Amino acid sequence: AEKPRLLDDEEGGVLFLAASASSSRLGHSSIQKQRQRLPVYKYRTAILYLVETHATTIIVGETGSGKTTQIPQYLKEAGWADGGRVIACTQPRRLAVQAVASRVAEEMGVKLGEEVGYTIRFENLTNTGVTMIKFLTDGVLLKEMMDDPLLSKYSVIMVDEAHERSISTDILLGLLKKIQQRRPELRLIISSATIEAKSMAAFFQTSKKHRGMEGEVLGPRIEPAILSVEGRGFNVQIHYVEGPVSNYVQAVVSTVLLIHDREPMGDILVFLTGQDDIDAAVKLLTEEVQNCGRNSLGLIILPLYSGLPRAEQELIFAPTPRGKRKVVISTNIAETSLTLEGVVYVVDSGFSKQRSYNPLSDIENLVVAPISKASARQRAGRAGRVRPGKCYRLYTEEYFINEMSAEGIPEMQRSNLVSCVIQLKALGIDNILGFDWPAPPSPEAMVRALEVLYSLGVLDDDAKLTSPAGFQVAEIALDPMISKMILSSSELGCSEEIITIAAVLSIQSVWVSGRGAQKELDEAKLRFAAAEGDHVTFLNVYKGFLQSGKSPQWCHKNYINYQAMKKVIEIREQLKRTAQRLGIVLKSCETDMLVVRKAITAGFFANACRLEAFSHNGKYRTIRGSQEVYIHPSSVLFRVNPKWVIYHSLVSTDRRYMRNVTSVEPSWLREAAPHYYKHQPPSNPMLH
Ligand code: ADP
Ligand code: MG
């Protein structure tokens, strides 16, 4: 077997990356050589044969072996995109969709959006009739099923990163299994870095055979094929800390500096959990570097998380200049979705941000939680791409062996299922409890979801989608609470405002973070702050942005993220088109913010909280479930603490914090959702 050339220290991944990064400089033949060096290349014929002869092929291969970028190209070369058919490849993450699509377009020497395109929510870069290979999130493919239930334009659907077990991936797998029975010519590829291939195979094993009159088997074979791509990873030395780490951001920074001081050249990949701690680590590391002189001058520090502007994404993949060392501080997107060439050292905090849901309290939030052993191994593996590497785990060996769970829990089993249920209902799947899930969700979570959808007026007494509201909410395909808010705004005469709010809620944040000037940011926020809360504040920001003529300077001055605002404008345009299609009257309520708050309440009544009597520290309790929550410091209502509020989402750190909060009147809650609040125990000082 061909082993990759061992690259020496100084130039290591640098040359290789330089080669991958620009086809224009390199020319076609060099790209082709690179493609042939990938482990998956040796399996090209085998893969094409299996796909030809089996309805489902499961492909397991180490990250970086070429599954995502190569297999769709092999399929295209073998004719699966002939006759106007399309090859689809799904990813759980948007940023991965964009990065991989642009890489494949580059390898094929075509313009992104033509033969190779991608679709993520709010962004469609494909050309019907021209696009042959299409990358998309699994969520977008689910949405496409509403218009084309059999996904008839696709010849092959590759469900990638299946080991992540994202909620959309699981729903998709369940539905694709059904579609397969109706479309024997459709081919599925399930691919992942690690997977219990057997259980996946068992899931796709169907008893139904396509047989002809004589009993001969027609069409492809039903039992799934399994192919394992031998990786080529180098050895990775694992280091553990001796005792538990109390502050992992600080520990990350010290470890990076230590590596930089003591170890030969080679890039560093750090795994943290989300934008907050990544920005904090970038800032701290930058300060340390400035304070400690010459040795640290060669560090290039880059964050990596979803929502990062395109220009910054490109820096991640750009070649590391000679004599420098790149430090990429990432969420778990770099665990398996993206491959960074040139990484020799990995620093693993041992945590990631994960969805967590408690059906009893009906509270879903993103929590920083310990990763599984499987994830830890994946992370370590990132260090052995170009030569033997080292992985520094910021937890003890004892902890790894005795306390880390072996596998993560599928997202399906730790999520609020509201969006999932509505999608299935819209696709005509009525018996949701009886649906063939790769991992069945908990019945409590299901019941909760049905209850919320019922109170939103999306489902009727028979648990069927209501007409038109239910179908409209499904069609908007945002969080049903947001969709409901938009529908209500139509009646309340404030759809222009609510659509703006919905657009802002669809992005991470309108504020600039990580510029390290909390005080200035807080002052800037005060200029826009509305007494009603964050949602109305967003309207002020949007108005200001329009009045400034969409000026980047204005954004900079006001600590507003210009890229985010451009995105808001784009999303808003799309939502407007969707709204018009649904017959929603576009109307502004001018200065009447009361109706705006009522519309928000109509969607988010389930997230209502009341300030505890005699609470001096801003403690709230949720009306349903009586959970303790606080207003997030980033909210304009932080320390204002109105008596009744509703929130958009919760984040958990030391406490549960409500993000994006608006003050409401208790009477609006009952108005908006009489059913939902009907069964409150009398002891709850609710709604009088
Ligand atoms: P897998 O899906 O098996 O993890 P990929 O197909 O994503 O592997 O990647 C195969 C190889 O392609 C990587 O090892 C890397 O060298 C190269 N590659 C992928 N994406 C990019 C990119 N955006 N820029 C440069 N090289 C890339
Ligand atoms: Mg991949």
Residue range 273-306, pLDDT digits in tens: 998 899 899 999 999 888 876 555 689 999 999 8
Amino acid at 664: V
211 confidence band (pLDDT: 50, 70, 90): low
ipTM for this prediction: 0.98
Cα separation, 677 vs 686, whole angstroms? 9
How many other C-beta atoms lie within 10 A of the C-beta of residue 569? Answer: 14
List, for residues 572-586, the tens digit of each pLDDT value.
999 999 999 999 989
User: What is the reported pLDDT for 652?
Assistant: 79
What is the dihedral angle through the alpha carbons of 619, 624, 626, 629, rounded to the nearest 10 degrees?
Answer: -30
Query: What is the side-by-side order of every strand in the sheet holding 225-229?
Result: 123-125, 116-120, 133-137, 86-91, 154-159, 187-192, 56-61, 225-229
**Helix H or strand E segment including 259:** helix 248-262
In contact, 510 and 538? CB cutoff 8 Å: yes
Cα separation, 278 vs 70, whole angstroms? 31
Output the CA torsion sign for 120, 124, 129, 135. Answer: negative
In contact, 110 and 24? CB cutoff 8 Å: no
**What is the token pair recorded at 212?**
């002809």
260: helix, strand or coil: helix
Centre of ligand 2 from the C-alpha of residue 387, in Å? 20
Q: What number does the ligand 1 atom closest to the CA of 103 have?
A: 23
In Å, the largest CA–CA distance within the chain is 81
Q: What number does the ligand 1 atom closest to the CA of 65 have?
A: 3
Q: Is 558 in the pocket of ligand 1 (CB under 6 A)?
A: no
Examine the pLDDT at 241 and tell me if it is beyond 90.
yes
DSSP letter (8 states) at residue 415: S
User: What is the reported pLDDT for 187?
Assistant: 97
Q: What number does the ligand 1 atom closest to the CA of 69 have?
A: 6
Output the CA torsion sign for 66, 70, 72, 74. Answer: negative
Out of 154-168, 352-366, 636-650, least confident range: 352-366
Q: Which residues contact 525 (CB under 8 A, 6 or more apart)?
A: 511, 537, 559, 636
Centre of ligand 2 from the C-alpha of residue 61, in Å? 9
DSSP letter (8 states) at residue 457: T
Cα separation, 482 vs 502, whole angstroms? 6
User: 21-50 burial, b for 16+ CB within 10 Å, e for fewer?
Assistant: bebeebeeeebeebbeebbbbebbeebbeb
Going by CA atoms, what residue is nearest to atom 5 of ligand 1?
66
Output the CA torsion sign for 190, 196, 198, 202. Answer: negative
Residue in 506, 558, 523, 498 with CA at minimum distance from that of residue 636: 523
Centre of ligand 1 from the C-alpha of residue 238, in Å? 24
Output the CA torsion sign for 104, 107, 108, 113. Answer: positive
Centre of ligand 2 from the C-alpha of residue 65, in Å? 8
**Angle of CA points 137, 140, 146, to nearest 5°:** 155
Residue the block writes with tokens 């990544």: 278
Q: Is 67 in the pocket of ligand 1 (CB under 6 A)?
A: yes
546 confidence band (pLDDT: 50, 70, 90): very high
In contact, 40 and 48? CB cutoff 8 Å: no
Examine the pLDDT at 506 and tell me if it is beyond 60.
yes
214 confidence band (pLDDT: 50, 70, 90): low
Centre of ligand 1 from the C-alpha of residue 162, in Å? 17
Q: Kind of pairing, strands 187-192 and 608-611?
A: unpaired
Peptide bond preceding 468: is omega within 30 degrees of 0, i.e. cis? yes
List, for residues 90-138, the tens digit of each pLDDT value.
999 999 999 999 999 999 999 999 999 999 988 999 999 999 999 999 9
Cα separation, 379 vs 236, whole angstroms? 11
DSSP H helices, 548-639, are 552-557, 562-581, 593-604
- Quote the radius of gyration of the chain (alpha carbons, Å): 26
Output the CA torsion sign for 446, 451, 457, 461. Answer: positive
User: What is the reported pLDDT for 514?
Assistant: 60
Pocket test for ligand 1, best of 336, 339, 341 (most atoms within 8 A of CB): 339
**Helix H or strand E segment including 137:** strand 133-137
How many other C-beta atoms lie within 10 A of the C-beta of residue 359? Answer: 19
Give 218: exposed, middle or buried? Use CB within 10 Å, 0-12, 13-18, 19+.
exposed
Write down the pTM of the prediction.
0.85
Q: Is 341 in the pocket of ligand 1 (CB under 6 A)?
A: yes
User: Chain centroid to CA 86: how far?
Assistant: 24
In contact, 450 and 464? CB cutoff 8 Å: no
What is each CA distance from 398 to 30, 235, 241, in whole angstroms?
Answer: 47, 22, 10
Amino acid at 273: T
Question: What are phi and psi for residue 649, nearest 5 degrees?
Answer: -150, 165
Which residues make up the environment of ion ligand 2, defined by Cβ < 5 Å?
68
Q: Is 163 in the pocket of ligand 1 (CB under 6 A)?
A: no
Pocket test for ligand 1, best of 103, 332, 337, 379 (most atoms within 8 A of CB): 103
Residue 457: half-sphere exposure toward Cβ, Cα within 13 Å: 18
Q: To the nearest whole number, what is the mean pLDDT of the chain?
A: 88
How many other C-beta atoms lie within 10 A of the C-beta of residue 236? Answer: 20
How many other C-beta atoms lie within 10 A of the C-beta of residue 592? Answer: 14
Examine the pLDDT at 675 and tell me if it is beyond 90.
no
Centre of ligand 1 from the C-alpha of residue 201, in Å? 26
Examine the pLDDT at 653 and tell me if it is beyond 50.
yes
599: helix, strand or coil: helix
Pocket test for ligand 1, best of 68, 69, 317 (most atoms within 8 A of CB): 69
Centre of ligand 2 from the C-alpha of residue 282, in Å? 26
**What is the token pair recorded at 103?**
């890489």
